[in-house]
Amino acid sequence: MRVLVADKFEKSGIEGLKAAGCEVSYDPDLKGAALSEAISRTGADVLVVRSTEVTEPMLDAGRLSLVVRAGAGYNTIDVKAASRRGIYVSNCPGKNSIAVAELAFGMIIAMDRRIPDNVADLRAGRWNKKEFSKSRGIYGRTLGLLGFGNIGQEMAKRAQAFGMNLVIWSEIGVAVGRDGLPIDLPILVRFRPASGSLIEPIIQVMDTPAAVAEKCDILSVHLAANAQTRGIVNADVLGRLKPGSYFLNTARADVVDYGALEQVVKEKNIRVALDVYPGEPAGGTAEFDFPMAHMPGVYGTHHIGASTDQAQEAIAAETVHIIRTYKEKGVVPNVVNLARQSPASHSLIVRHHDRPGVLAGIFQKLRDQAINAQETENIIFDGAQAAVARINLDTAPAPDLLEIIKKECPDILDLSLVKLDSAREA
């Protein structure tokens, strides 16, 4: 199997791919037309990228059957174009969650204690203890989380350690137990203040992002970028923040209305920490002038949320696991572009002797009637003498066709047609 790695990738990952028997081409600087040419020239079966954009022409340039995003988000890949061509798109969810959560909490503390401003003044030869001694502190404050996936849950763990309350909303919903708490949250930690009394943090699951913004002192965004979340942190949500609140985005720029964010910074004295930006450079170094970065109380990092050695090693290992599994078993872990629900309306269940030509004959009869097999599964019984095939069809065969199929093949032991639940609902 030929693998083209077109982004910065850990040495351990390259070695792991070679150990798995892959022929690896590594060029982290490939972009645009040069990447299309490399896909064609190398005859790559698999393309591995991080931030590099993967376009429809690239998918047509060679014989790709799998694109792996060595990270969590995959908004830089034309997933719809890949789906039309039967090309798998896979990612490495959860492998950088701790790294992002660590950066986010570093940002929270940096905003509260104004650490970047402290450093800048000290480097400029200014001593201003009187000014920088002013800080609210984050113990007992309420952290709002928009998104409660892998990163959001890592944020929740750390918030507990800091003695913070939590309000949560997620675009995919949050399962709540009988006690009203998120069931994905670790066992609650009890915090013992200096007074010696025991308190428990308050944790609430909200119905909307705006409800989270209203209740929190610090709002942190951890949403994937998709059609449902694009621009979801809008003027209405940001306008619900209390004056003097903190806001941070370590997710994707697309989910936040940055114009509205700039407005609330001016009107409500909101402190902001950002790791992602609209129109940010794709490369490692470039000129970049983001107007909000010049505003007092706005702090920024260079889209480095996932960039720790630990995270990159974990992502490399997961990438190797995905490709090795595909190579050895024909199965792709973490696929993001399979149909969530089959378009099939009926399932043909065939109990048969496990002999050559049984299923081939059935497929030929279906083809003659212009009936498409959407999904197929053939389960072999112990001893490999018999099997049961499940063939999901886009339309129901006529009863006489089923009789013909059964009569013409003595190796068919039983034949039945089941209407699928999705078809019943329709």
Query: Hey, what amino acid is at 249?
Result: N
**Cβ–Cβ under 8 Å, residues 203 and 182:** yes
What phi and psi, each to the nearest 5 degrees, are found at residue 279? 70, 25
User: Closest Cα partner for 209 from 280, 140, 260?
Assistant: 260
The DSSP line for 106-167 is HHHHHHHHTHHHHHHHHHTT---HHHHT----STT-EEEEE--SHHHHHHHHHHHHTT-EEE
Catalytic residue among 53, 280, 351, 390: 280
Give the integer Cα–Cα distance in Å for 20 and 326: 11
303 included as an active-site residue: yes
Catalytic residue among 141, 222, 252, 271: 252
280 included as an active-site residue: yes
Output helix, strand, coil percentages for the chain, rounded to the nearest 5. Answer: 35, 20, 45
Catalytic residue among 303, 321, 351, 390: 303
**Cβ–Cβ under 8 Å, residues 321 and 331:** no
Give the integer Cα–Cα distance in Å for 38 and 59: 12
Please give the structure tokens belonging to residue 361. Answer: 């004959």
Residues designated as active site = 252, 280, 303
